[in-house]
Amino acid sequence: MDPVTVGLLCGVAFASAALSAVVGLAGGTVLLAVMLLFFEPAAAVPLHGVIQLLSNGGRTVVQRRHVAWSVVGWYSLFLLPLALAGARVAVAMPAALGTTLIGAFVLVATLQPGWLRMRPTGAGGEARRFALIGAVAGFLGSLVGAVGPLVAPFVLHLGLSRRGIVGTAAACQGAGHLAKVAAFGWVGFSYGEHLGLLMAMSILVVAGTAAGSRLLDRLDEVFFTRLYRTVLVLVALRLVSSALWMHDVTASR
């Protein structure tokens, strides 16, 4: 890969990590979109998983005191087997379909969360529902790469502080990316062929996470919540529009 392309990917890795450190999501979707310009989906998704594992891991460490760990535990319960199932069917599932479903889901969950609200099952019910959310995210993560926008609306409605939202979302997403990386390795993807690029992008992701985390401390709660919702809607609209474009291109061939 030529130095200009490597430099571009490293720059996007820094910017996307900083964005995610501030609003808790969107950076992964942006990074994946750029990576798909240079890699086939079967390579972009697992490579993106490695970078996002580090990005989310960094945010988790920074916000570790604010993470709702019980939520993360339930979310991780079924991740690995579902991620492996998703990796096995990734080549058969039309990417446009999965992306459209996620985009539509995010719009509903952000603008009309009451439509999706499940009744808590006693004490701790709010956390336990994340076992189902994690199972769905684990499967879809191997198919469409970035499912942070799917998980984010549920984290947003846990009633956490802005640091708790960012930290908990990062821990859940990091666990999902770890499962996805392991699943693609199990089905035969070779990460070693891209080791140099992964190392370079990883360094920039750590730096971007640190820069974005410092900016997060300067935001007030009301502004953060509005920004978070706005990013969710914009990402969802982008997912739907890109999926429709992919469908049109495929149909015209």
pLDDT tens digit string along 72-129? 999 999 999 999 998 887 767 676 776 676 667 667 766 775 665 544 444 455 667 8
CB 79 within 8 A of CB 172: no
122 φ, ψ to 5°?
80, -165
Long-range contacts of 124-129 (CB under 8 A, 24+ apart): 124/70, 126/71, 126/158, 127/68, 127/70, 127/71, 127/73, 127/74, 128/74, 129/74, 129/154
CB 80 within 8 A of CB 182: yes
CA-based end-to-end distance of the chain: 29
**Is the pTM of the predicted complex or chain greater than 0.75?**
no
How do residues 154-181 score in pLDDT, each as one tens digit? 887 788 887 888 889 889 989 999 999 9
d(CA 78, CA 99): 22
- State residue 183's pLDDT score: 92
d(CA 171, CA 202): 17
- State residue 102's pLDDT score: 63
How do residues 19-46 score in pLDDT, each as one tens digit? 767 665 567 777 777 787 788 777 888 9
Q: Which of 129, 121, 134, 119 is nearest to 171 (CA)?
A: 134
- State residue 227's pLDDT score: 67
Q: Please report, rounded to a whole number, the percentage of residues in the chain having pLDDT higher than 90.
A: 15
Q: Which of 59, 8, 5, 6 is nearest to 172 (CA)?
A: 59
- Mean pLDDT in the chain? 78
Q: Which two structure tokens, joined as six digits, stand for 165? A: 């939202």
Position 104, amino acid: A
CB 138 within 8 A of CB 176: yes
Lowest mean pLDDT among 45-59, 121-135, 219-233: 219-233
Is the pLDDT assigned to residue 240 strictly greater than 90? no
- State residue 241's pLDDT score: 76
